[in-house]
Amino acid sequence: MPVLLDVRSEVWPLKERFSISRGAKTAAEVVVVSLGDGAHRGRGESVPYARYGESVAGVIDDIRRVAGNLTTRVALLDLLPPGAARNALDCALWDLDCKRTGQRAAALANLPQPADVLTAYTISLATPEQMAEKALAVSNLPLLKLKLGGDGDGVRMRAVRAARPDARLLVDANEAWSATDLAALIADASDCGIEVIEQPLPAQADDALKDVEHLVPICADESVHTSADLDRISSLYDAVNIKLDKAGGLTGALDLLQQARGRGLKIMIGSMVATSLAVAPALLLAPHADWVDLDGPLLLGADREFGVLIENGRIFPPPPELWG
């Protein structure tokens, strides 16, 4: 039976202030779990998210509460609901099984061994001029994700497009748009050659997506956590953003990926702002994604030891010393 060796919170300062429609942060606050069997050790990392009613202290309490009953990844599904606590434990169990068997996680999951893939780089919410300047400053990065915030978003998109006519652009409104402005902002996005619009409306008000033409594919983020959400959202969205912290780990994310693909939805693989330890498991899903958004380590002032390599926007599989 796996034993909880350690669970702790860590704070990783960011290179610069990171802003979205709901607020700003200057550090990534993560929870790290270490599990052992007496001979081997596995680790997992998660990011408690206030938007989903989570806190660092609450996640740590949940992990400690169920630690004595841990046996397998399947059993974990009944111990905790999807979320950050289950994610940290699930990923630690995957890593522990890899260390026990000497196999990489892709082999254990019957997935192709991941190769390097292009990841988006996030441009934080700011004035149109500041966002254009930032986009120009990373001219070596071909895929950018723009954090939007409602008022002035059409100007923001046009400013970045003018600064980077060569770039592929994604946008993420983080629930900041209204049904009143939705059609006009989708048209702005289409005019700017945006590839996908992520979560334009609040999750509780996204039925309005039925009433507008999807000139640009619309991707669910806050509106989809697990495969149980697909019945409701499949008629509203064209794509889903799969995050291990929402799905409750790699196990839940793999289920969501399979079922979303079966419904013909496009796939984005994302993560919260976190270290390479949180990003590594998500990379197993990257070969099946239309867009990959795993740039968290690039936003940190410093990453952990054996972090994933990211060069010119391409992110490489993790070494086994990090995870899996």
Indicate which residues carry an active-site annotation: 147, 243
Sign of torsion, CA 121 123 128 134?
negative
Nearest to 279 by CA among 312, 239, 240, 310: 310
Show the tokens assigned to 87: 């994610």
End-to-end CA distance of the chain: 19
Report the interhelical angle of 84-101 vs 250-262 (nearest 10°): 100
**Are residues 219 and 240 in contact, defined by beta-carbon separation less than 8 angstroms?**
yes
Q: What's the number of CA atoms in the CB half-sphere (13 Å) around residue 88? A: 29
Amino acid at 50: A
Contacts of 28 (CB under 8 A, 6+ apart): 11, 12, 14, 47, 272, 273, 274, 275, 296, 299, 300
**Distances in whole angstroms, Cα of residue 192 to Cα of each of 57, 125, 146, 159, 188:** 42, 17, 12, 9, 6
Q: What are phi and psi of 130, to 5 degrees?
A: -65, -40
Residue 36's DSSP bridge partners are 3, 41
